[in-house]
């Protein structure tokens, strides 16, 4: 496990390797939502929150995605995130459909074509790369890019740089709306049992966003940015590790055998 906290550009706490390189994945969604907030001041908090979400396809979450699509305007057929294994058919049930609905809204507002909005050479993805670079205070050329699970561009940097990006988040244009929406609707950002939702419910004023492969980034009210990563990508230890790093009661992770028996729990040593 690796964890780092950054405040005012300085590392104030760390465990493991703060220089660990990894991909921002879905933890970048609050930053990726900033062009949406600026382009569409008419949106409701639920529509902004779902654009920042990795949802569990809970009913309220799907309602929020549909509302954002309707305002774009766009349809479910315009979503390019694809079906998600283990979920109901249709791209709207993909955990990234809110982000993609937001991307479609930005394209409509800017007059960009919607087809191929997920591709690296599309104006939207070029703008999002600049947004990430601004948050990280890095040149665009210093940011490694790859293709994320939902087909869009994802961004590589050190864990410390991710934490620093979250520490600066509140200072970025449009971030006040995005952060307020996430705080108002933590249940949309993840869902029942999601670590980011649980952390925001536990600590008033915090914003948290999980990412694939055992990553979570957060922003505290005092301006401290956090990034925690399971190096092997298995997210199971993330909850106890984050609880230890933040000194927070985030509950336990039970170990259950194939008979449904509770035979242990995952703890941070």
pLDDT for the residue 40: 97
Among 224, 191, 206, which residue's Cα sits nearest to residue 3?
224
Average pLDDT over residues 134-151: 97
Positive or negative: CA dihedral 31, 34, 35, 36:
positive
45 φ/ψ angles, rounded to the nearest 5 degrees: -55, -40
Predicted TM-score (pTM) of the model is: 0.94
pLDDT for the residue 252: 73
CA distance readout (Å), 128 to 33, 65, 133, 159, 165: 9, 20, 9, 19, 14
> Does residue 170 have a pLDDT over 80?
yes
Q: Give start and end residues of each alpha helix (H) in the chain.
A: 29-32, 34-39, 45-51, 59-71, 97-110, 123-136, 159-168, 175-184, 186-189, 195-202, 238-246
Biggest alpha carbon–alpha carbon distance for the chain: 56
The two three-digit tokens of residue 131, written as one number: 């947004």
pLDDT for the residue 83: 97
pLDDT for the residue 255: 80
pLDDT for the residue 269: 65
**First CA to last CA distance, the chain:** 11
Average pLDDT over residues 21-42: 98
Q: Over the stretch 57-96, which tens digit does the pLDDT of each residue have?
A: 999 999 999 999 999 999 999 999 999 999 999 999 999 9
Contacts of 114 (CB under 8 A, 6+ apart): 74, 78, 104, 107, 108
DSSP string, 203-267: STT-EEEEETTTEEEEE-TTS-EEEEE-TTS--TTHHHHHHHHHT-----EEEE-TTS-EEEEE-
Q: Over the stretch 87-117, which tens digit does the pLDDT of each residue have?
A: 999 999 999 999 999 999 999 999 999 999 9
256 pLDDT band (50/70/90 cuts)?
confident
Average pLDDT over residues 193-214: 97
> Does residue 259 have a pLDDT over 90?
no
175 pLDDT band (50/70/90 cuts)?
very high
pLDDT for the residue 264: 75
pLDDT for the residue 251: 75
Contacts of 211 (CB under 8 A, 6+ apart): 23, 24, 25, 26, 27, 28, 54, 217
> Does residue 266 have a pLDDT over 80?
no
Average pLDDT over residues 138-152: 97
> Does residue 220 have a pLDDT over 80?
yes
Instruction: Please tell me the class of the 2-266 domain.
Output: alpha beta
For residue 53, the Cα-to-chain-centroid distance in whole angstroms is 6
> For residues 266 and 269, what is the distance between their CA atoms, to the nearest angstrom?
10
């Amino acid at each position: 496990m690796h964890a780092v906290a950054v405040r005012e550009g300085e590392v104030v706490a760390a465990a493991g390797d703060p220089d660990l390189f990894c991909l921002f994945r879905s933890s970048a969604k609050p930053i990726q939502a900033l062009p949406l907030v600026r382009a569409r001041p008419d949106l409701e908090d639920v529509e902004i929150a779902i654009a920042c979400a990795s949802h569990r396809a809970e009913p309220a979450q799907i309602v929020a995605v549909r509302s954002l699509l309707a305002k774009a305007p766009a349809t479910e057929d315009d979503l390019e995130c694809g079906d998600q294994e283990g979920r109901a058919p249709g791209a709207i049930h993909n955990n990234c459909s809110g982000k993609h609905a937001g991307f479609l809204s930005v394209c409509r507002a800017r007059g960009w074509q919607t087809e191929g909005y997920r591709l690296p050479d599309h104006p939207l993805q070029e703008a999002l790369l600049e947004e990430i670079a601004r948050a990280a205070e890095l040149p665009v050329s210093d940011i490694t890019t790859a293709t994320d699970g939902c087909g869009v561009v994802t961004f590589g940097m050190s864990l410390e740089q991710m934490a620093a990006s979250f520490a600066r988040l509140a200072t970025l244009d449009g971030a006040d709306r995005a952060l307020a929406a996430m705080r108002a609707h933590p249940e949309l950002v993840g869902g029942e049992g999601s670590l980011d939702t649980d952390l925001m419910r536990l600590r008033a004023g915090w914003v948290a966003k999980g990412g694939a492969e055992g990553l979570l980034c957060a922003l505290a009210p005092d301006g401290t940015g956090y990034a925690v990563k399971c190096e092997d990508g298995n997210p199971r230890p993330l909850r106890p590790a984050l609880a230890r790093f933040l000194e927070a009661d985030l509950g336990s992770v039970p170990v259950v055998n194939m008979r449904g028996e509770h035979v242990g729990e995952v703890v941070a040593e």
